Amino acid sequence: MINCLIVDDEPLAREIIARYIAADNRLRILKACGNAAEAFDCLHIYPVDLLFLDIRMPGVDGISFLRSLRAPPAVIFTTAFSEHALTGFELEAVDYLLKPITKEKFDRAISKFLKIVPQKINRQKDYTYFKVSGRLIKIHHADLLYVRAVKDYVSLCTINGNYLCYMTMKYLNEMLPDEVFVRVHRSFIVNKNAVETVERNALKIRGEMIPIGAVYRNLRWQ
């Protein structure tokens, strides 16, 4: 799965690219940002493989933003202006798409990405950064035992303690690698490697009994 981040100050442009991403089962959208500052924060939290980046934006423009990154992901520029094309390719962009972006243009750009950096599909970090009490905390996946929904927050239950993070279960479930984590209940995501016993209605992790929802009872654990 290719993790994608959209950065564009135009809501319609974000919507179109998001729709194209959703139609391709090889791609997954992590977030759509309206400016470079928001995107910078996302890149420090999420494992981004492919960046769809507008150029002319309020504040920091796309080219300056890309140049500021120490280890940028692959990038596809999306812009209404052709005069930056040379600079885009000097920055080793996968492609330079002029708006309006058609599905055909989008698909060609994705094909280029797959030819240039095929290994990115299989790249997987073994940790995730979470924003807790205004600061980023790095949690290794092996240390994250399970996640519990707590109203508008999630409680990250780790071997070193619990952390409360403002995030939805749906978003977290999409972000965490499914090779390691599985959702077993509307309120619980568990680390498959941490599960000690499994019954029909519950499972055990370090002595804690976690319910298995009716719609999740036919899960494959291996």
Q: Which among 100, 121, 142 is the end of a domain?
A: 121
Question: Are 11 and 112 part of one and the same domain?
Answer: yes
Backbone angles phi, psi at 194, to 5 degrees: -95, -10
> Is 191 a domain residue?
yes
Question: Are 132 and 95 part of one and the same domain?
Answer: no
**Stretch among 21-25, 40-44, 175-179 having the lowest mean pLDDT:** 175-179
Number of structural domains found in the chain: 2
CATH of the domain at 79: 3.40.50.2300
Assign 11 a pLDDT band (cuts: 50, 70, 90).
very high
pLDDT value at position 124?
57
Question: Are 20 and 101 part of one and the same domain?
Answer: yes
Do 96 and 88 form a contact (C-beta atoms < 8 A)?
A: yes
pLDDT value at position 122?
46
Question: Are 76 and 161 part of one and the same domain?
Answer: no
Residues 6+ apart with CB under 8 A from 8: 14, 17, 32, 33, 34, 52, 53, 54, 57, 78
Question: Are 147 and 99 part of one and the same domain?
Answer: no
Question: Are 45 and 86 part of one and the same domain?
Answer: yes
pLDDT value at position 70?
83
Assign 221 a pLDDT band (cuts: 50, 70, 90).
low
> Is 98 a domain residue?
yes
Q: What is the pLDDT of residues 19-38, one digit of tens each?
A: 999 999 889 999 999 999 99
For tokens 């179109």, what's the residue? Answer: 16
Q: What is the pLDDT of residues 52-111, one digit of tens each?
A: 999 999 999 999 999 999 888 899 999 888 877 778 778 888 999 999 999 999 999 999
Q: What is the pLDDT of residues 100-140, one digit of tens each?
A: 999 999 999 999 998 876 554 444 578 888 888 878 788 99
Report the percentage of the chain scoring pLDDT > 70. 95
CB-count exposure of residue 106 (10 Å: 0-12, 13-18, 19+): buried
- The whole domain housing 53 covers 2-121
Do 42 and 33 form a contact (C-beta atoms < 8 A)?
A: yes
CATH of the domain at 205: 2.40.50.1020
> Is 103 a domain residue?
yes
Q: Which among 121, 139, 156 is the end of a domain?
A: 121
> Is 221 a domain residue?
no
- d(CA 191, CA 50) in angstroms, rounded, equals 26
Residues 6+ apart with CB under 8 A from 95: 76, 77, 108, 109, 112, 113
Question: Are 115 and 154 part of one and the same domain?
Answer: no
Question: Are 28 and 106 part of one and the same domain?
Answer: yes
Question: Are 8 and 57 part of one and the same domain?
Answer: yes
> Is 222 a domain residue?
no
Q: Which among 121, 155, 183 is the end of a domain?
A: 121
Question: Are 54 and 116 part of one and the same domain?
Answer: yes
> Is 76 a domain residue?
yes
pLDDT value at position 120?
47
